[in-house]
Chain A
Amino acid sequence: MNKLLLGRYLPGDSWLHRLDPRTKLMASFYYIAIIFLANNWQSYLMMFAATMVMIAASKLNLGFFLRGVRPMIWLILFTVALQIFFTKGGPVYWSWGWLAVTQFGLTNGAFIFLRFVLIIFVSTLLTLTTPPLALADAVESLLRPLRKIGVPVTELALVLQIALRFVPTLMDQTTKIMNAQRARGVDFGTGNLFQQMKAVVPLLIPLFVDSFGIAEDLATAMDARGYQGGDNRTKYRILQYHPRDGYAGLAMVVLTVALVFLRA
């Protein structure tokens, strides 16, 4: 169950691990955006090489990244197939009725495939090298200007932090309830779809009730420890930019310039 998107952080001490989470978050978004600028073999090849360099810099096994692609593979193949069959242009290699495989179709299919894989690789890289809590801090820090227009950024960040904090607690609770219900004869994971959905009900209801109990306890504890909300709170965890964050930004600029030159 801990294969869910939140538990994917892999602790490490690489250059990428040590980058400020704000840098990583912004650079990832930027990188994904410029992938869409690539439109020929040269530019895609360069983006592919750049992604491989980043993965190497994370010192993580390539297998983790390939596993990230797996859940998306049918969507990717479907999109690629659409591109191959419906893009017209260039020499025709095969045709059947209104379907035709053309040279343009094949190249476009390959480009789309690469684009998908690169986007998945980069976002996987972000979540594998950044603890969820650091990401939450980064979001808070980057959104802070929105406080001026009345968005409760600090409160939202605390909500996010507490949500992350309680993921393992609720997982434990789920396991406990599942075992308790199994002992009472509930059968999880067998039967047809309808039966399986029915088996989830005696799991979800106690979990729902429990989480309200937890929320109430937590609110009391926070109250007792003087939580009053607002912007007068100080912060224990702070984020600090280092020279390496500057280098990362510079690398993005260089990459963009190279991409503009290479693209058709």
Chain B
Amino acid sequence: MLPAIAVSHLNYQYPDAERLALHDVSFTVAPGEWVAIIGHNGSGKSTLAKNLNGLLAPAAGTVVVGGLTLSESTVWDIRAKVGIVFQNPDNQFVGATVADDVAFGLENRGVPREEMLVRVADALDAVGMRDFATREPARLSGGQKQRVAIAGIIAQRPDIIILDEATSMLDPAGRTEIVQLIQRLRATTQLTVLSITHDIDEAASADRVILLNDGEIRTVGTPAEIFAFGPELLKLGLDVPYPEKLKAALAARGVAMPAHYLDAEGLGDYLWTLHSTM
């Protein structure tokens, strides 16, 4: 099967910068997969996202999205396939109302109005914001604004959605809201998700994690494999989720621990049944 995204030997350098922001980055993402890209601030995560849909032009290497090689002539087709949710909920809200904002991408592509009405309503249903269609952005919470941004993207029916630190400016409730929404969307559609984050809990929901350090890929693995690095992640400016730290500490003391990732509740369940004889 054709990969959703195939990046090979990608280099990128910001104008006037001395160092490469991305150096020899290669990876592929399968259709329907959820891949998290983690790394400390300035590790090149967001630069990578912007290279994937031509917001920045790669200095070397190729980016292939759904069989199309990124170039000046394909950039608008690729942008139709790749939607990005950015970090700041306010600064990506173009429309004066929720429905207008969802329609913005459709207007840009010249979708006829009758079809727009249907697609906007469907997209708002999918993110649970139908009742807010005529609201103004000033009256929404950060989490709701990000849901609208996601609706604006799924209305365009892309193959890939990139979350570029989309939860980093939200409160914990808003963060959970967005992660759950993405999980729900993936259950019902064939959406490929690329989440760029330094929120390790968000990364834990992914199928695969790419660890980026100073513009280079450090490791690729399942969340559990990545978290097993433990203290080394701390050195790279990342934190391991609390249940993973506890797991590592218990394993060091000879307690049998499962290899897959457990959240706090899951670990609690595992622990209290560990010596149960019932």
Contact = CB atoms under 8 A, between A and B. Distances in A.
A165 B76 CA distance: 26
Contact of B88 (A162, A217, A226): A217
A73 interface: no
Contact of A226 (B93, B103, B108, B113): B108
Contact of B55 (A133, A214, A220, A233): A220
B93 A165 contact: yes
A238 B152 contact: no
Contact of A236 (B53, B92, B106): B106
B100 A236 contact: yes
B71 to A, nearest CB: 16
Contacts of B156: 225-226
B273 interface: no
B107 A233 contact: yes
Contacts of B79: 223-226
A224 B96 contact: no
B194 to A, nearest CB: 13
B80 interface: yes
Contact of A168 (B55, B117, B138): B138
Contacts of B96: 133, 161, 164-165
A237 interface: yes
Interface string A65-108: 00000000000000000000000000000000000000000000
B92 A221 contact: yes
A12 to B, nearest CB: 15
A224 B110 CA distance: 16
Nearest to B94: A222
Contacts of B105: 225-226
Given A225-B152, A234-B116, A236-B99, A217 B91 contact: yes
B112 A234 contact: yes
A213 B88 CA distance: 11
Residue with the greatest number of chain A CB neighbours at <10 A, chosen from B94, B100, B112, B136: B94
Contacts of A168: 136-138
Nearest to A133: B96
A224 B94 contact: no
B107 A234 contact: yes
A228 interface: yes
Nearest to B109: A226
A234 B114 CA distance: 11
B108 A228 contact: yes
Interface in A145-173: 161-162, 164-165, 168-169, 172
B80 A226 contact: yes
B91 A218 contact: yes
A11 B94 CA distance: 22
A236 B50 CA distance: 28
A233 B110 contact: yes
Interface of A: 133, 161-162, 164-165, 168-169, 172, 213-214, 217-218, 220-228, 232-238
20 contacts: A162-B94, A165-B94, A165-B95, A165-B96, A168-B136, A169-B90, A169-B137, A214-B91, A217-B91, A218-B91, A221-B86, A222-B94, A223-B55, A225-B108, A225-B153, A226-B156, A233-B108, A234-B106, A234-B111, A235-B113
Given A161-B96, A165-B137, A236-B106, 15 more contacts: A165-B136, A217-B91, A218-B94, A220-B86, A221-B84, A221-B86, A222-B94, A224-B86, A225-B79, A225-B108, A226-B79, A233-B108, A234-B107, A234-B111, A235-B113
